[in-house]
Structure 1
Amino acid sequence: MSTQMYEAGLEKNAANFAALTPLTFIERAASVYPTRLAVVHGDIRRTWQETYARTRRLASALAARGIKQGDTVAVMLPNTPAMVEAHFGVPMIGAVLNALNTRLDAATLAFMLNHGEAKAVLVDREFSEVMRAVLPSVERPILVVDVDDALYAGPGERIGEIEYEALLASGNPEFEWQPPSDEWSAISLNYTSGTTGNPKGVVYHHRGAHTAAISNILEWDMPKHAVYLWTLPMFHCNGWCFPWAVAARAGVNVCLRKVDAKAIFDLIRAEHVTHYCGAPIVHNLLVNAPDEVKAGIAHRVNAMVAGAAPPAALIESLERLGFELTHVYGLTEVYGPASVCPQQEQWRTLDIGERARLNARQGVRYHLQDGCAVLDPDTMMPVALDGETIGEVMFRGNITMKGYLKNPSATEDAFRGGWFHTGDLGVAYPDGYVRIKDRSKDIIISGGENISSIEIEDVLYRHPAVMAVAVVAKPDPRWGETPCAFVELKAGAAVTAADLIAHCKAHLAGFKVPRAIEFIDLPKTATGKIQKFELRKLAQSVSAIDV
């Protein structure tokens, strides 16, 4: 009897249970702070009340054109107001938002539209040429909506049957949208940047988007009315779920079509930007901007970085600007960041080098993620917390995808043992913090010794002439493979391969020192992620040097 005592007559009902969804954030922002600024884009300055009405118009207009629950709506947009609005208007009718990477080629985009069975696509005029090449390959009827952004003055024709503002004008600003009946319902579809074969479609659910957004707020202590600058593409993991987080704080979305140092600093000053995110290359771009471009920022700016660990020089340069850096880690499959490296109070008394070493770790799980651990992938047991024993970094909890669209075998493999397998190799420290040592595919095995490419990269980043670096394996007839470093120098820097080799020798064991160094502009994705698969191809023909 006692086991059922707390169940009998205590069922879920509309009064005591609601499915979690980030869509409630915009409704509350518009209700509580209707006149607060929500969106800034050039001369456009819209309130939360106005933005909410526009998202409802979008939902209504799409529904009137046959888009329904479970349909996919793709967008080919930069960080503009329409992109913010799509994150709410599309799921308001139960449809699934597929934000396309605007740097992709026509064949890959066609695969995504077909695989995701998109019923509509919103296209910024900047990308109409590539999308015109895509559309003949789309296998089903698709509604094409042109988005004509006033801040875009470049080439590009309208290719759709209706323009975005006309579409909104046809919608109802009082549209009675419904939250999902099940928080497990899909809210968005994000394709991985796969390096071989077709990309995988990662499906997010409303519960995960809600919890990821709230966790972002908690990790950053993000205040009400924070002013968020869109340096991170919203097509990347739905902008790490920050479109929903900003709405939850009734903050300001400061839109940015293109990453440019002067434009970023101008907006930070003019709009009093308090928060922005980006890959290390974005932060490097800012700290290496001319002094006159950086001058005049008198308030604190919170920066979030994911990807390569921030080197000491970057942390120090950002601190001089008045920027405080938070290091996070994640993947598309966990909604962007799902772990964070919280800075402990006692770290503040340490020298910059030691602080950088501690801050380089991927840290601990997000507040609302159940677990981030380093496990032996064979036994699924935790590795020793000694900072040395290598295992695979794994996640579990609400901030984890539903799975891969139409790919049950890949989904099952990713979730084997009840954890999401990242493919990243790492260690855990006595304080519970995790640090990545390398991707499993990026470990260089030279003469039977395992070499971490990240360890070499960390050393090269310490050199004052280095802007960005990536290390990959180069085939070697004697050793099997050896480290090959591709280096992008800071503007005006003059350094030789011999100089960098000497620098590495001072900090690394001899067998870890790169046998080849090549100076190039590193190939990167739209989010600033270095494309190592391209570098592996180049490494085949790079000449080794005597070290």
Structure 2
Amino acid sequence: MGTLGFWRLAQADPEWVAAVDPDGTEHRAGDLLARANRLVHALRGLGLKAGDGICGLVPNGSDGLVLYLAALQAGWYYTPINWHLTGPEIGYIVADSEARAFFVHERYAEEGMRGAAESGIPAERVFTFGRVEGAVDGAGEGARSVAELTEGQPDTAPADRTAGATMHYTSGTTGKPKGVRRPLSGLDPDEAAGLMTFLLTLFGITPGKENVHLVTSPNYHTAVTQFGGTALQMGHTLVYMDKWDAEETLRLCERYRVTNSHMVPTHFKRLLALPADVRSKYDLSSLRWMIHAAAPCPVPVKWAMLEWWGDCIYEYYAATEGGGTIATPEGWRSHPGTVGTAWPISELLIVDENLEPVPTGTPGTIYMKMLGVRFEYKGDPAKTAANRLRDHFTVGDIGYLDEDGYLFLCDRKADMIISGGTNIYPAEIENELMVHPKIADVAVFGIPDEEWGEQIKAVVEPAAGVVPSPELADELIESLRGRLSRMKWPKSVDFIAEMPREPNGKLLKRKLRDPYWKGHERAI
């Protein structure tokens, strides 16, 4: 398989361009290695030791990558923070993670410094990338630049290197977010890097500097960090996007001869919406492993992408907590709509309301486990226990296994609509509506109904140039004729200018649903 591990690769070939920032700035591996080494020496000088944590509020690019590389060779937990959060939300994560150092990019200085003040972290442990003009309520006073922190520190590898880990925080849709914390392995960082590559090898991804990984989504998401970080450990160049754009994605794929990436179905929908002449003018022959996840992909959208890009599109289902499935292009073609079969080191269990296994083809709550992987929600043993069934865990998704062991998702348990005693899965309706050419994005959920308990509501983001109207609402509902039973048709359609989605593609359905449930007992 060749040499694995960024540190070994960088020492062997310091001139290798390991990362490209969104503005096109190229970073040599030797320079990134030196920056990471200096940071480890500096923070150890402040007393950080293995098992401690650091947080970063930084955009996609080399600055966050240096934090990640430093933590992974110093035995620290690195928590990248969602830069869309407010000061108090940021402060909660910095405090809850028990961060011994907090790094804030100038772009997010205002909320970042508010977060620092909220968290109670000492000002001398707050460090900035770029210029942070002035102080926010005094919170910026005492913060130092990263350049000042690392000035005069040696470029040499630190002693007593030991593998660190990322500790991502769950999205917190049902309360405060929780850090998913795994025990540190105690391994040499280069050996740990080799183990990290197991996930990517499931997709057939190979090591080597001929490969290029396109980072399309924010690095504070688990999968983005995992896939990008592991690609780097395999010798792939990372090309970072700042804000996702459909044509820019195609341009970067051609410019850098991208071989692999991690995407979401929303990206596919918007790529397919590009004019035919735009879609055809870029050379995409380098693409080999274009992986997607995070949200259901409508079957017609997936077929269209396979027709355009060929059999380089892989899908998986997984969670921050561990375990999952993979659908190869061949597996998906023979089982359209599947999210695949269990990883070789993973196991699936589908259970009913009584936590008993269900028959093949019967929907139930999906539980998973992954060989040798244990985790806890930091500071919340009750949540850790509640999501476990023996040594399996769940994130609350509903699905079923077919006779060949392929998993099909129905929906999140929390999103399921119960109308007249019948269970209705919004994802099924969303997938059918999403293929309509006048729809850019859609969300379906239940709203209060005195007679039926819940009725089906669709909220639609119209495609560019499409004007919302009652006639359009009728047209969209009527388009379901012959494709879905009438009991699954939305009773009404509302229109929205832009759907509230996280940058990783996950729909923030609570933001849409909660106003309809205000004052009703069944609000969830």
Q: Does 1:230 align with 2:215?
A: yes
Aligned to 2:483: 507
Q: Does 1:28 align with 2:8?
A: yes
- 1:327 counterpart letter in structure 2: E
Structure-2 change in CA distance of 1:532 and 1:43 (3 Å): closer
Structure-2 change in CA distance of 1:486 and 1:210 (3 Å): farther
**How many Å apart are 1:291 and its aligned residue?**
4.9
**Structure 2 residue runs without a partner (length 5+):** 186-191, 519-524
Aligned to 2:239: 254
Cα distance per residue 1:3-60 (max 9 Å; x no partner) = xxxxxxxxxxxxxxxxxxxx97112322444432211123532333332222212211
Contact 1:442 1:453 in 2 (8 A): yes
Distance 2:150 2:228 in 1: 20
Q: Give the 5 Å matches for 1:458-477.
A: 458-477=431-450
Aligned to 1:192: 170
Q: Which among 314, 321, 332 is matched to residue 333 of structure 1?
A: 321
Q: Does 1:106 align with 2:106?
A: no
Aligned to 1:545: none
Structure-2 change in CA distance of 1:509 and 1:292 (3 Å): closer
Q: Give the 5 Å matches for 1:129-528.
A: 129-142=110-123, 143-148=125-130, 159=140, 161-180=143-162, 187-206=165-184, 211=195, 213-225=197-209, 226-237=211-222, 239-291=224-276, 293-294=278-279, 295-301=281-287, 302-319=289-306, 321-322=308-309, 324-334=312-322, 338-344=324-330, 358-367=335-344, 369-376=345-352, 378-381=354-357, 383-385=358-360, 387=361, 389-398=362-371, 400=373, 402-493=375-466, 496-520=472-496, 521-528=498-505
Distance 1:449 1:127 in 2: 46
Q: Could you state the TM-score of these two structures normalised by the residue count of structure 1?
A: 0.83
- 2:294 counterpart letter in structure 1: G
Contact 1:214 1:245 in 2 (8 A): no
Contact 2:51 2:184 in 1 (8 A): no
Counterpart secondary structure, 2:315? strand
Structure-2 change in CA distance of 1:238 and 1:508 (3 Å): closer
Distance 1:233 1:527 in 2: 7
- 2:227 counterpart letter in structure 1: F
- 2:17 counterpart letter in structure 1: L
Structure-2 change in CA distance of 1:135 and 1:50 (3 Å): closer
Contact 1:67 1:119 in 2 (8 A): yes
Counterpart secondary structure, 2:464? coil
Q: Does 1:535 align with 2:520?
A: no
Distance 1:55 1:232 in 2: 23
Contact 1:127 1:156 in 2 (8 A): no
Cα distance per residue 1:414-448 (max 9 Å; x no partner) = 22322012211110001101111111111111001
**Structure 1 residue runs without a partner (length 5+):** 1-22, 150-154, 349-354, 542-547
- 2:5 counterpart letter in structure 1: F
Distance 2:258 2:147 in 1: 28
- 2:292 counterpart letter in structure 1: V
- Provide the alpha-carbon RMSD of the alignment: 2.7
Distance 2:374 2:278 in 1: 40
Cα distance per residue 1:101-127 (max 9 Å; x no partner) = 111112211111111111211111110
Q: Which among 101, 104, 116 is matched to residue 123 of structure 1?
A: 104
- 1:270 counterpart letter in structure 2: R
- 1:171 counterpart letter in structure 2: Q
Distance 1:43 1:112 in 2: 31
Contact 1:393 1:421 in 2 (8 A): yes
Distance 2:167 2:375 in 1: 10
Counterpart secondary structure, 1:49? helix
Distance 1:247 1:177 in 2: 23
Contact 2:213 2:261 in 1 (8 A): yes
Distance 1:122 1:257 in 2: 19
Structure-2 change in CA distance of 1:277 and 1:43 (3 Å): closer
Structure-2 change in CA distance of 1:524 and 1:401 (3 Å): farther
Contact 1:212 1:338 in 2 (8 A): no
Q: Which among 34, 43, 46 is matched to residue 65 of structure 1?
A: 46
Distance 2:391 2:212 in 1: 38
Cα distance per residue 1:255-309 (max 9 Å; x no partner) = 2222223433332222112222122223323332345654222424232211332
Aligned to 1:352: none
After the TM superposition, which of the residue ranges 449-458 and 259-268 deviates more from structure 2?
A: 259-268
Structure-2 change in CA distance of 1:176 and 1:338 (3 Å): same
Counterpart secondary structure, 1:190? coil
After the TM superposition, which of the residue ranges 93-102 and 23-32 deviates more from structure 2?
A: 23-32
- 1:362 counterpart letter in structure 2: V
Counterpart secondary structure, 2:168? strand
- 2:199 counterpart letter in structure 1: S
Contact 1:392 1:425 in 2 (8 A): yes
Structure-2 change in CA distance of 1:177 and 1:444 (3 Å): farther
Distance 1:305 1:234 in 2: 15
- 2:217 counterpart letter in structure 1: L
Distance 2:133 2:282 in 1: 37
**How many Å apart are 1:320 and its aligned residue?**
5.3
